[in-house]
Chain A
Amino acid sequence: MSLFYYTFIPIVIAFIAYFLNKKIKLSLAILNSVVFAYLFYQISRLYNQWNIPHETISYYMFDREIQLIFQLTPLSWLFIFMTTGAGLLIAIFTIKSQQEYVLRSSFHLNFAILIGSILGVVLAGDFLTLFIFWEIMTWSSFFLISSGEKKAAQKASYRYIILSTIGAYLMVTALFIIYNQIHTFGYNQVAAHLSGLPITESIILIIMLAIPFIIKAGVFPFHVWVNGAHSNAPKEFSPFLSGLMLKVGIYGVILLLYFVPLYNILKESVNYRGLPIFNYILAIFGCITVITGTILAIRQEDVKRLVAFSSISQMGYIIMALAISTPLGFTGGLLHLMNHMIFKTTIFLSIAAVIYRTKTTKMSEMGGLIFKMPVTFTAYLIAIIALAGIPPTNGFISKWVIYQALIDKGYIFLSVAAFFGSIGSFMYVFKPLSTIFLGQLKPEHENIKEVPFLMQLPMFVLMALILLFGILPGLQMNLINQISQLLNIQPVGFTLYSITGAFGKWNSLVIFSLFVGGFLLAFIIFISAKKSKQVGLMDTYTSGEYMDDPEAYHYAYQYFRPFDRVFDSFAARSLTVIYDTFAQNIVKLGNLFRKSIVTGNGQTYAFYMVLFIVILAFAGWII
C-alpha cells in the first residue's frame, strides 16, 4: 500500500462513516476501530522495510508544481505505529463509552481526520507536507477539544488554536524565507542551507521553525494551553491528546535537533558547558517545565487537570533528555516518549472510565471505588507506578536512562529538577489513587458497576504493555537503535532485558523477580493481617454540627495543603495571565477603533473621505 494512502484512508472513511452514522448509531465508532485496526496491521508489516522509495504528489502552487514527499524512516514508523495503536485502543473504548454523548459523530469524524493528519505529519518528507498536515492536525484537534461537554472547553480550545496558529505562522514564514532562496522544502536541503547561513540568521530561522513544535509539546513558556485543553476535552480524547498529540510536538523537536542536525549547525555558536546555547536553553526550558508541571499538578482538585499538569512535567523530561544531545539522552528521551504514551493513555482511560460511571471529575466527590471498579483501579495503579518511575514498570527504565544521561554530563541543576519531578510525581499520582479509589464509598455511588468489557479491553492491553516493556526493554531498544543509526547517533548497548548506562547495567529480569517476590511477601502479610474497620466518612469533622459545604471538609480537598502553601506565590504568578492580558489589550484596541471610527453618522463618514484625501495628498502622494 502506498504511503500516501495511510493518511488519506482515515480521512476519506471518516466522511463516509459520518453520513452513515445518521442512519445507524455507533457505526462510526465501529468503522473507525476497523479502519484503525487495518492500518495498524498494515503498518506493523512495514517494520524493517526502510528502503521503501519516497513517494511524491504534485501540488501546483505558485507558478510551478511543488512535490509533496512521503517517506518512511524508523523514526516515522515508530510514530505511525504508536498513533494507529493508540487510535485503535481509544476507538474501541469509545464504542461503549459514548452512549449518551451528543456530539458523537463529530467526535469520530474529527478523530479519524486527526489520525490521518498525524500519519501525514510523520510520514512527510519535506517541510511543506509537514506543514499542511500539521495544520489539519491542529484544526481537527481544535474541533475535538471544543466538543468537550464542559463549558470551559470552548475557551480552552480557543487558547489552544490561537497559540498553535501563531506557532504555525512563524514556521511558515521561516519556511518561505528559506524557500525563496533554495526553492525546495526538503529536510536535507533546508538543513544544508541553514548551516551555510550566518549564525544569527540561522538561529532566528531555527527558533521560528522550532516554536510550533515546542508549543505542541507543551513546553514552558508555551504550556498554557495544555491543562485547559486536556481537562476540558472529551474524556476519550484526553488520553490521545496527552499520549500522542504532545508527542507529535516532540517529533518535530527530534526532526530539528537530529534529523536536520541542528547540533552540527549550532556547534560553532556560543557554547555553554559543552552544549550549543540553543540546546542548553531548550534543556533549561524542559527543566522549568518539569518543576512547573509538578508543582501545579499537586495543587489540583480536578483529576483531569492534575493528570494534564503531570503530562506537562513529563514532557519536560523528554525535552531535557533530547536537548542534551548525547546517545544516552536521545535513547532515554525516546524510551520515555514511548513509555509516557503508554502509561499516560492508561491513566486517562482509567479516569475516563471513572467519569463514565460517576459523571464527575472532582476528586472530592468520589471515593472508595476500588471494590466497585477493580479493573479500572488496577489499570490506574499500574500506570501510576510506571509514571512515578518504580520498577518493574517501563517508566522506571526510561527515567533511569535519563538520569544516567544527565548525571553523566554533570548537569547538576537539570538532575535536581528531574529528581524533584520524580518525587513530586509520587505526591500527585497518589492523590487520585487515595481519593478516587481508596477511602470510603460515597452513598450515591453505591450502585456503580465496573465498566463494560469493551472499555476494559484497552486498559488490559496497556497494562500488559507497561509490564512487558518494564521487563523487556530490549524490544524498544531494538527500534531505538535503528533510529539512532539513521540519525548517526552512537547506539546504546542492550540485550533483551538489560540496558547499558553510563555507570553500569540495568538488568530488569533480576529486578522483576525481586519485586515479584516482594509483592508476594506483602500479599501474604496482608492476607494474614486483621481486617480493617469501616468508619463513617464525615464523622471525624462534624461533631454533630450542620454543614453547608461538606465537600470542603472531605479529606481529598486540599490534600497536600502544607506543601502547596510553600509554592502559593509561585503558582499565583501565572503565565496565562500575561498571555490573556496581551490578548485583552488587542481587543481593547479594537474596541477603541470601533467606538472612535464607526460613529454611524453619515456626515462624519463624508468628513473622513475629505480628510483621507487631504492626508494622502500631504503625506506625499501629491506633495
Chain B
Amino acid sequence: MVNLILIIALPLLAAFLIPLFNYINKKLPSIVVFLTTAINLLIIILNYNQIILEPVIIELGNWQAPFAINIYVGTLELISITVISIISLIIAFYNLNHSNFSSESKFHTLYSIIIAGIYGIVMTGDIFNLFVFIEITTVAAYGLTTFNKDKGYEAAIKYIIIGSISSVFLLMAIGFTYSAVGSLNMAVIAAASNLINPGLVRIISLLFFVGIAFEAGILPLSIWVPDVHSIAPSAVSSTLSGLVFLAGITALIKIFFNLFADPSLYVFLMIIGAISLIIGELIAYQQDDIKRMLAYSSIAQMSLVLTIISVGTKYAISGGLFQLFNHAILKTLLFLTAGLMIKYAGSRNISDFGGIAKKIPLIAVGFSVGSLGILGVPFFNGFVSKIMIVNGSLNAGEYILTFLVLFATVIEMAYYLKVIQTIFFGKISINPHKIVKSYVPIIVLITVVFLLGIYPELITKPLNQATGELLSRSDYISNVLGGM
C-alpha cells in the first residue's frame, strides 16, 4: 500500500517546482501537472481494494488520534477522490493543448494547488485542517479566475469578498468548537457533540454551514458562482463546478452527518436546498450566456444534492451522492465542450451557436451527452441517480420535495434543450473564429457517462456502503479513536 498522504503532497510539491520546470522548458509545467494527476489516480487505484474493505486512517507524525492531524478515507471519501482524480486527470490532459495563456506556468502552479486543496477538503479528519484546505482551494481559485484578463478581476473581487466573509464564519465556528470540546479532531468532536450545550451546537453548525456552503453552490451564498464561472477559462470553470463543489458538499455532509448529527437541522437544509434549487433553475433559464447558464445549473444541481441528502434516509442519501458524482463528471464535460464552442464561435451567446454541430460534431455531441445526462435520459448516468432521488424522497414520504425536484428538472430541460436545438438544428450562422480540436477528453468523459448509465453498480454498490458508514456515526468514531 502506498501512503495516501502522497495524493495531497504530490500536487503541492509539483506546484512549488513548476516555476523551476518552466525555467527549463515552457512545455514542461503542463506535463508535470498531467503526470502528478496520473500518479494520483494510480495511487488511488492501488489502494482501492483495501479501502473498500475498511476505512484507512493515516495519522501524521505517528501521533495517536486525538493529538495529531489525521487523514480519514472511508468509502465516501474513496469514491470522491476517485472521481476527483479521474476528472483532474482529464482536465490536465485538456490543459496540455489548450492553455495558451501568457503566464502559463502560474496557471499550472495554481491548478496544482487547487487540486491538492480539493483532495485535502475531502480527506481530512481535522476541522482546522479543513479550514486550511478550504482557504488553499479558494485562494488558488481567486487567482485562476483572473486568467481571462478583461472581466476576470471584477469577478475575482466579488469572489474574494464573499470568500473572506465566509472564512471568518468558518473560523468562528472552529473557535467555538475548540473552546467547547478542546480538540479539533472530527472524531473527538463527534464523540463529544452530545455533551456540549445543544444551543451552542446549533450556533456552531450554522456557522459551519455558512462557512462551507459558499463553496458548495447554495444560494444565496454562492451568488458569486455565475460571475466567476462565466469569466474563468473553461478548464477552471469545470474544476470549480465539478470538483470544488463536490468537495464542498462532501465537507458539508461530514459536518452534518459525522460531526453534528442533529436531524432537526436537516429540515433547514432541505428547505434552503429546495428554494435554492428552484431559484437557480429559474434564473438559469433566463441566461443567454452559455457559461452563466451552466453555472446556475450547477447551483441548482448542488442544491438538489443538498436537499436530497438532508432527507436523511439511506435511499435518499445514496441517490443524492450519486447525483453529486454524476454532476462532477457531466459538468466537466459540459464546461469543456462549452468552452470549445465559445472559442470556435468567438462568442458566449447561445444564439451565436446556430448549427455549430455541422462544423465541430464531436464537441456538439459531447455537450448534448452532458445535457442529456443531467436531464436523466435512460442509459445516461443521470437516469439512475434521478430514479434513486425520486425513490429516496418518496420512500421517506417527501411528496412535496419530489414534486419540486421534478418541476425543477422540467425547467432544466427547457433551457438545456434550447442550447441543443440551437447547436444541432439552428440556422448556420458561424464563421469560425478559431479552429478547435479536442478528442480524447471528450470521448473519455462520454464513455464514463455511458458506463455509469449502463452499469450503475460500479458506483452504486460502494455508494450504498458509504451511506451505511455515514449513517453509523459510532463506527466512525471508534474507527478513528480505536474504541476510546
Closest Cβ neighbor of B222 among chain A residues: A605
Within 8 A of B (CB), among A596-621: 597-598, 600, 602-603, 605-606, 608-613, 616-617, 619-621
B residues 140-160 near A (Cβ < 8 Å) are 157-158
* B206/A172 in contact, CB under 8 A: no
Flag if B206 contacts A590 (CB, 8 Å).
no
Distance (whole angstroms) from the CB of A125 to the closest CB of chain B: 17
Q: Is A162 a contact of B318 with CB atoms below 8 Å?
A: no
The answer to the question of A589 belonging to the interface, with a C-beta cut-off of 8 Å to chain B, is: yes
Asked whether, in the complex, the Cβ of A136 is within 8 Å of the Cβ of B417, the reply is no
Separation in Å of the A103 CB from the closest CB of chain B? 7
Q: Are A180 and B286 in contact (CB under 8 A)?
A: no
A563-612 interface with B by 8 A CB criterion: 586-587, 589-591, 593-594, 597-598, 600, 602-603, 605-606, 608-612
* B118 CB–A CB distance under 8 Å: no
Our pick among B157, B281, B378, B410 for the contact of A165 (Cβ within 8 Å) is B410
In the bound complex, do residue A605 and residue B283 qualify as a contact, i.e. CB atoms below 8 Å apart?
no
Q: Are B390 and A176 closer than 8 Å at their CB atoms?
A: yes
* A609 and B166 form a contact (CB under 8 A): yes
Question: Which residues on B sit within 8 Å (CB–CB) of A153?
Answer: 425
CB-CB under 8 A from B387, the residues of chain A are 61, 172, 176
- Cα(A591)–Cα(B411), bound, Å: 13
Q: Quick check: B391 and A180 within 8 Å, CB to CB? A: yes
Q: Is B279 an interface residue (CB 8 A)?
A: yes
Contact B394 A177, beta carbon cutoff 8 Å = yes
Among B72-80, B96-104, B185-193, B457-465, the one that faces the other chain is B457-465
In the complex, what residues of B have CB within 8 A of residue A610's CB? 165
A617 to B387, CA, bound (A): 34
A61/B456 in contact, CB under 8 A: yes
In contact, A169 and B410 (Cβ under 8 angstroms): yes
Q: Please give the number of chain B residues whose Cβ is less than 8 angstroms from any Cβ of chain A in the complex.
A: 65
Question: Could you tell me if A609 and B460 are in contact, using CB atoms closer than 8 angstroms?
Answer: no
Residues of A within 8 A of B219 (CB): 597
Question: A620 and B268 in contact (CB under 8 A), knowing A62-B318, A586-B282, A606-B165?
Answer: yes
Q: Tell me which residues across on chain A come within 8 A of B203, comparing CB atoms.
A: 622
| CA–CA, A596 and B205, complex, Å | 29
State which of B279, B388, B417 has its C-beta within 8 Å of the C-beta of A593: B279
User: In the complex the two chains form, what is the Cα distance from A309 to B457 in whole Å?
Assistant: 46
Cα A62 to Cα B424 in complex, Å, equals: 35
- Tell me, yes or no, whether B202 is within 8 Å of chain A by CB: yes
Kindly state whether residue A311 has any CB partner on chain B within 8 Å. no
Quick check: B378 and A60 within 8 Å, CB to CB?
Answer: no
Complex: A166 Cα to B406 Cα, angstroms: 8
Given contacts A60-B457, A597-B279, are A621 and B206 in contact (CB under 8 A)? yes
The 8 A CB mask of A543-571 against B (1 = contact, 0 = none) is 00000000000000000000000000000
Stretch of B32-40, B51-59, B223-231, B243-251 contacting A (4+ beta carbons < 8 Å): B223-231
Q: Which residues of B contact A609 (CB under 8 A)?
A: 162, 165-166, 210, 214, 220-221
* Known A-B contacts A103-B425, A606-B165, A619-B268; A600 and B315 likewise in contact (beta carbons under 8 Å): no
Residue contact A605 to B161, C-beta cutoff 8 Å: yes
* B377 interface residue (CB < 8 Å to A): yes
Residues of A within 8 A of B283 (CB): 590, 593-594, 597-598
**Chain A CB within 8 A of B178 CB:** no
Answer whether residue A294 sits at the interface, using C-beta atoms and an 8 A cutoff.
Answer: no
Residue B384 CB within 8 A of the other chain: yes
Tell me, yes or no, whether B413 is within 8 Å of chain A by CB: yes
* B214 contact set on A, CB distance < 8 A: 609
Instruction: Tell me if A361 is interfacial: C-beta within 8 Å of chain B.
Output: no
**Residues 167-207 (chain B) with a chain A CB within 8 angstroms:** 169, 199, 202-203, 205-206
A136-177 CB contact bits vs B (8 Å, 1 = yes)?
100100110011000001100110011001100100110011
User: Does B388 lie within 8 Å of A166, measured CB to CB?
Assistant: no
The docked-state distance in angstroms from the alpha carbon of A169 to that of B390 is: 10
Give chain A nearest CB distance to B417 CB in angstroms: 6
Residues of A within 8 A of B377 (CB): 135-136, 139
B residues less than 8 Å from A593 (CB atoms): 279, 282-283
Q: Identify the closest chain A residue to B409 (Cβ).
A: A169
Asked whether any CB of chain B lies closer than 8 Å to the CB of A132, the reply is yes
Task: Check if B379 is an interface residue, CB within 8 A of chain A.
Answer: yes
Question: Are B417 and A176 neighbours in the complex by a CB distance under 8 Å?
Answer: no
Q: Please give the distance in Å from B128's CB to the nearest CB on chain A.
A: 22
- Verify A608–B220 contact, CB threshold 8 A: yes
B421→A146 contact, CB < 8 A: yes
Query: Is B20 among interface residues, defined by CB-CB distance under 8 A?
Result: no
A201 at the interface (CB under 8 A from B): no
Is the Cβ of A62 less than 8 Å from the Cβ of B315? Answer: yes
A600 to B219, CA, bound (A): 14
Apart from the given pairs A135-B383, A154-B421, A609-B210, 16 other A-B contacts in the complex at a CB distance below 8 Å: A62-B391, A132-B378, A132-B379, A135-B377, A154-B425, A158-B414, A172-B406, A594-B282, A598-B223, A602-B158, A605-B162, A606-B161, A609-B221, A612-B210, A613-B206, A622-B202
**Chain A to chain B: the 4 pairs with minimum beta-carbon distance, closest first:** A590-B282, A60-B457, A608-B220, A169-B406
Residues of B within 8 A of A (CB): 157-158, 161-162, 165-166, 169, 199, 202-203, 205-206, 209-210, 214, 219-221, 223-224, 226-227, 265, 268, 272, 279, 281-283, 285-286, 314-315, 318, 372, 377-379, 383-384, 387-388, 390-391, 394-395, 402-403, 406, 409-411, 413-414, 417-418, 421, 424-425, 455-457, 460-461, 464
| 30 A–B contacts from the bound complex (CB under 8 Å) | A60-B457, A61-B456, A62-B315, A62-B460, A63-B318, A63-B460, A135-B377, A135-B378, A136-B378, A158-B417, A172-B387, A173-B406, A176-B390, A176-B391, A180-B391, A587-B286, A597-B220, A598-B223, A602-B157, A606-B162, A608-B220, A609-B162, A609-B214, A612-B220, A612-B221, A613-B206, A616-B272, A619-B268, A621-B205, A621-B265
